[in-house]
């Protein structure tokens, strides 16, 4: 616990789930709600396993603060890869190779232990005061207890589409992190004037971007591109071995080194906790500041409070990060760096999303975003029911998106109308992601979630007229079916 008279908790930033505070030489990831006993026990078991994974930020454990909130207490690392790239641009290639080796070793060890990180992003790649990189915030328990939309810039397509998180999605995140470190941008940066839904469609369907810079060693761009593969099984599991070969480093060199993972390297916590947490920081992070400076940790007398100032707006040209607090010497726990054998395939630990839970969580928002993208991407307006319109002329089976006839055809059929449910089926000449546009008479149109199958059931009100249109996308174009109505509805655009 933290004594409010000798230490202060100051906000460091907001994540997708929690707010992170610093105090007493530690970082506190404060959760948005209390955990039930079963989830708390599962989280503590997961934390204990992560303590044994090399190249990860040391985690002290799960603690209750004085105001009743639950926090995961871990090693304090004040600098992230995201901030470093934002302030200083792409990293030198030799630093990227070192960083990639560290992250690949950390993920390889975690996956071999049956762990999944679940959120490999540039904000979770941290640097100690010495400049040593570590992977932070690993684990699925908190992410499953408080589901949110995954960060599109680093999430694998199957995570965005189906909320899957496994070892293969961690590899995609690694590829996106390395792409950022090499280029200064995420693989699919948002474009000016682009809708969020259109950006999402491009992330899901556009070709994997290449890494181009003149000083790349042979093979590095291929590794990054393979990690970003849309097919999960195509992502390489022997990343550490490939990177070692690219860097010209043999496994014997790694086997002779030892990584010291600190065991709870924190200043002892007094018994009296604080009464309340300060407000979390808001507003965008400053961008126009000089490159990140990693100062040496100063010596703080035992009687001096470990107080860290809260972020205060854009930095001046002379501003650098405040020095990190001292960390107690590492314990005797030492983990040899043992590279994975290339022929061995890492175990895949899959997480099947809770469908009932996802309806109440952030994934529903992501699904709605994909559905909205298909509708908004089309040039034509939404369907409208028009009682005064003349019967439509026979339509061709397919109406393609603007830009010419691509040969992609979609044909929609109403298979059954039970009064409370309509069954739709369709055929297509290409493999697409689909959305059904539903137009009820006298009510706003709405969209289904993204569909891969070629049939779906739509709930309808008895006696009400409906029109339906199917839209499909391959990531570049949106294609439309003919309009279909039920109960003598006249359908037009």
Query: What was the pLDDT predicted at 34?
Result: 86
Query: What was the pLDDT predicted at 118?
Result: 94
Domains of the chain: 10-356 (1.10.510.10), 381-492 (2.60.40.10)
- Residue 376 — left, alpha, or beta (φ > 0 → left; ψ -120 to 50 → alpha)? alpha
DSSP codes of every residue in 37-50? HHHHHHHHHHHHHH
Mean pLDDT of 232-260: 70
Q: Which two tokens stand for residue 229?
A: 């593969």
The C-alpha atoms of residue 412 and residue 449 are separated, in whole angstroms, by 17
Query: What was the pLDDT predicted at 407?
Result: 67
Q: Which helix (H) or strand (E) holds 60?
A: strand 59-64
Q: Quote the DSSP letter at residue 19.
A: E
Picking from 64-78, 125-139, 357-371, which range would have the lowest pLDDT averaged per residue? 357-371
Query: What was the pLDDT predicted at 248?
Result: 78
Mean pLDDT of 364-382: 42
Instruction: Quote the mean pLDDT of the chain.
Output: 73
pLDDT tens profile 141-153: 999 999 888 888 9
Q: Which two tokens stand for residue 215?
A: 């000083």
The C-alpha atoms of residue 326 and residue 329 are separated, in whole angstroms, by 9
pLDDT tens profile 170-226: 999 999 999 999 999 999 988 888 888 888 888 888 888 889 888 999 999 999 999
Residue with tokens 């190779």: 97
pLDDT tens profile 316-357: 333 333 343 443 433 333 333 333 333 333 333 333 344 344
Res. 302: pLDDT tops 60: no
* Top-confidence residue, 383 or 245: 245
Res. 131: pLDDT tops 60: yes
- Closest to 65 in 3D by CA, of 282, 281, 270: 270
Q: Which helix (H) or strand (E) holds 74?
A: strand 70-75
CB 139, CB 117: distance < 8 Å? yes
Share of the chain above pLDDT 70, in %: 66
Query: What was the pLDDT predicted at 83?
Result: 93
The C-alpha atoms of residue 55 and residue 471 are separated, in whole angstroms, by 46
Say what angle helices 167-183 and 81-88 make with each other, to 10 degrees.
20
């Amino acid at each position: 616990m933290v004594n409010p008279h000798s230490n202060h908790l100051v906000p460091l930033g907001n994540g997708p789930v929690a707010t992170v505070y610093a105090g007493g030489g530690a970082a506190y990831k404060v959760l948005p709600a209390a955990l039930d006993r079963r989830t708390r026990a599962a989280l503590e078991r997961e934390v204990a396993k992560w303590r044994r994974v090399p190249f990860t930020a040391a985690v002290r454990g799960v603690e209750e603060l004085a105001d009743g909130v639950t926090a995961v207490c871990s090693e304090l690392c004040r600098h992230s890869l995201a901030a470093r790239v934002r302030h200083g641009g792409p990293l030198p290639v030799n630093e990227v190779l070192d960083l990639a080796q560290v992250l690949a070793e950390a993920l390889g060890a975690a996956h071999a232990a049956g762990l999944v990180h679940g959120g490999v992003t540039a904000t979770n790649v941290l640097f100690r005061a010495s400049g040593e990189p570590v992977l932070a915030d690993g684990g699925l328990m908190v992410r499953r207890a408080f589901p949110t939309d995954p960060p599109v810039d680093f999430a694998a397509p199957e995570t965005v589409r189906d909320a899957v998180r496994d070892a293969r999605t961690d590899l995609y995140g690694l590829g996106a992190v390395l792409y950022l470190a090499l280029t200064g941008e995420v693989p699919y940066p948002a474009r000016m004037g682009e809708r969020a839904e259109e950006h999402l469609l491009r992330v899901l369907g556009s070709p994997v971007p290449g890494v181009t810079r003149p000083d790349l060693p042979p093979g590095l761009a291929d590794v990054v591109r393979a990690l970003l593969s849309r097919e999960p099984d195509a992502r390489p599991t022997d990343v550490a071995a490939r990177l070692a070969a690219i860097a010209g480093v043999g496994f014997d060199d790694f086997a002779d080194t030892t990584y010291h993972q600190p065991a709870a390297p924190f200043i002892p916590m007094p018994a009296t906790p604080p009464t309340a947490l300060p407000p979390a920081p808001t507003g965008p992070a400053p961008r126009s500041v000089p490159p990140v400076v990693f100062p040496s940790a100063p010596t703080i007398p035992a009687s001096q409070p470990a107080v860290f100032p809260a972020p205060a707006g854009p930095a001046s040209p002379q501003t650098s990060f405040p020095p990190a607090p001292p960390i107690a010497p590492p314990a005797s726990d030492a983990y040899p760096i043992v590279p994975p054998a290339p022929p061995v395939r890492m175990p895949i630990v899959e997480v099947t999303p809770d469908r009932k839970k996802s309806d109440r969580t952030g994934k529903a928002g992501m699904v709605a975003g994909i559905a909205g993208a298909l509708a908004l991407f089309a040039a034509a307006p939404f369907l409208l029911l028009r009682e005064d319109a003349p019967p439509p002329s026979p339509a061709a089976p397919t109406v393609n998106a603007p830009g010419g006839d691509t040969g992609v055809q979609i044909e929609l059929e109403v298979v059954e109308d039970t009064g409370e449910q309509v069954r739709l089926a369709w055929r297509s000449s290409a493999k697409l992601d689909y959305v059904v546009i539903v137009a009820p008479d006298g009510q706003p149109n709405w969209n289904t979630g993204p569909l891969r199958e070629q049939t779906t059931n739509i709930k309808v009100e008895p006696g009400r007229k409906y029109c339906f249109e199917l839209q499909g996308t391959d990531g570049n174009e949106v294609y439309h079916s003919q309009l279909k109505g039920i109960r003598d509805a006249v359908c037009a655009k």
